[in-house]
Structure 1
């Protein structure tokens, strides 16, 4: 008997928390503090550090930089540089790795891609460092610019670029946050929420199409 036809003709994956372990809160906070120090601010408020780490918008960035009389573009360049360096160091020293079930993606009978809110250059490093390039036909992270904050998920900008690359009409997006679910819905895609350890108890206002325990279950959904 022939295997069933795939339910979708492409699958897109978030990166952090889906393919690789997410960065620790302490690592992200220290990278933000390093950026403040590089800009001449030795003791930023905890509130401002948390805001820089947790989904900062261009408007909030402007408010924070105004409080310290900083140029937003210059500060953000420092933040992005320190943030990426902290991530690459964690991968290189083994304190952060990829999930074992990532090998399941090789069993998918459709084209795959990566769409992440992380830096594009960081995503490229990860794919090379863990030798994952062969699993994905396309990949997108955001540029290291203030403007990219307007384009990150739940904006559909990078999802749509990946779909165009793959020529996909029916696709599934696999993520670990509500912004992933919302982005998929806005792009007209079905979504999968992977309940990893770091998001085991997360509740959402927007429900995903599917919830799974790991990437093996994603393969099963595609081929069911």
Structure 2
């Protein structure tokens, strides 16, 4: 049976439902308008929804002569506000199977590439605050874009907070698996409906269909 000091979790798609493309698209369009671009090209809107890199952001900003830091901060502010709206309007919620981990005795942390402000909101709205001992999302601003997964930066910080030497990181994307391995952690890939057909080019240590599977891993079931 694995003997982990801690269990770390991605947020979106693991603890709570992922944001919708429509929500992120509206937020991106609002961010463009906030910096004076009224009619951005659809391709450029799509480029900043998910998986943004410093290089792709620079390319988009170059088209409209935008300051990358100013635009990325606007994008994150609008994306965070839009996601909070999803929870308030009950179009997005926590997964019921979070109940599977609530009785585990491990230290818990959340490490997400979403905005830190969004994670703070989710912890309170979904009544997770007492469950997790530490949590990290990205700070507003361009610097945090370099620190998102698969960079293990926030995983390393969470491990330091917990004083843990061994941990399992639970995620729903290839970048989660890579970040875990770069941090020297085991990885568990949760193959929920939204990532059912995803093909990974890296091998997670475990693959499960829900958080009950995670509970079985750490309890040796």
TM-score, L = length of structure 1: 0.95
* 1:25 corresponds to 2:21: yes
Tell me what 2:35 maps to: 39
Whether the aligned pair in 2 keeps the contact of 1:6 and 1:110 (CA below 8 Å) is no
Answering whether residue 11 of structure 2 is matched by residue 15 of structure 1, we say: yes
Tell me whether 194-203 or 5-14 shows the greater mean CA deviation: 5-14
Q: Which ranges of 4 or more aligned residues in structure 1 deviate by more than 4 Å?
A: none
What is the aligned length?
220
Counterparts of 2:184 and 2:73, CA distance in 1: 33
Aligned partner of residue 107 in structure 1, secondary structure: coil
Deviates more, 1:189-198 or 1:57-66: 57-66
**Secondary structure in structure 2 of the residue aligned to 1:133:** coil
CA distance in 2, matches of 1:77, 1:217: 37
Name the SS for the 1:106 alignment partner: coil
Partners of 1:175 and 1:192 within 8 A in 2: yes
Q: Deviations over 1:58-99 (max 9, x none)?
A: 222122112111122221221111111100000000000000
Q: Tell whether the 8 Å contact from 1:58 to 1:147 is kept in structure 2 after alignment.
A: no
Aligned to 1:51: 47
Contact 1:105 1:135 (8 Å CA) reproduced: no
1:202 equivalent in alignment to 2:198: yes
> Take 2:198 and 2:157, find their aligned partners in 1: how far apart are those partners?
28
Alignment of 1:153-168 (within 5 A): 153-168=149-164
Query: For residues 170-189 of structure 1, what are the structure 2 equivalents within 5 Å?
Result: 170-189=166-185
Q: Aligned ranges for residues 76-91 of structure 1 at < 5 Å? A: 76-91=72-87
Of residues 152-161 and 56-65 in structure 1, the stretch that sits farther from structure 2 once superposed is 56-65
The residue number in structure 2 matching 1:69 is 65
> How far is the alpha carbon of 1:107 from its aligned partner?
1.7
Q: Indicate which of 123, 139, 147 corresponds to 2:119.
A: 123
**In the alignment, is residue 191 of structure 1 matched against residue 187 of structure 2?**
yes
TM-score, normalization: structure 2? 0.96
Instruction: Identify the match of residue 140 of structure 1 among 125, 132, 136.
Output: 136
Whether the 8 Å CA contact 1:107–1:219 is kept in 2: the answer is no
Displacement of 1:6: 5.9
* Stretch deviating more after TM superposition (24-33 or 59-68): 59-68
Residues of 2 paired with 1:187 and 1:161: CA distance?
10
Match of 1:114 in 2: 110
Give 5+ residue unaligned stretches, structure 2: none
More divergent stretch after superposition (68-77 vs 185-194) = 68-77
Give the CA deviation at 1:9. Answer: 1.3
Q: Cα RMSD (Å) of the superposition? A: 1.1
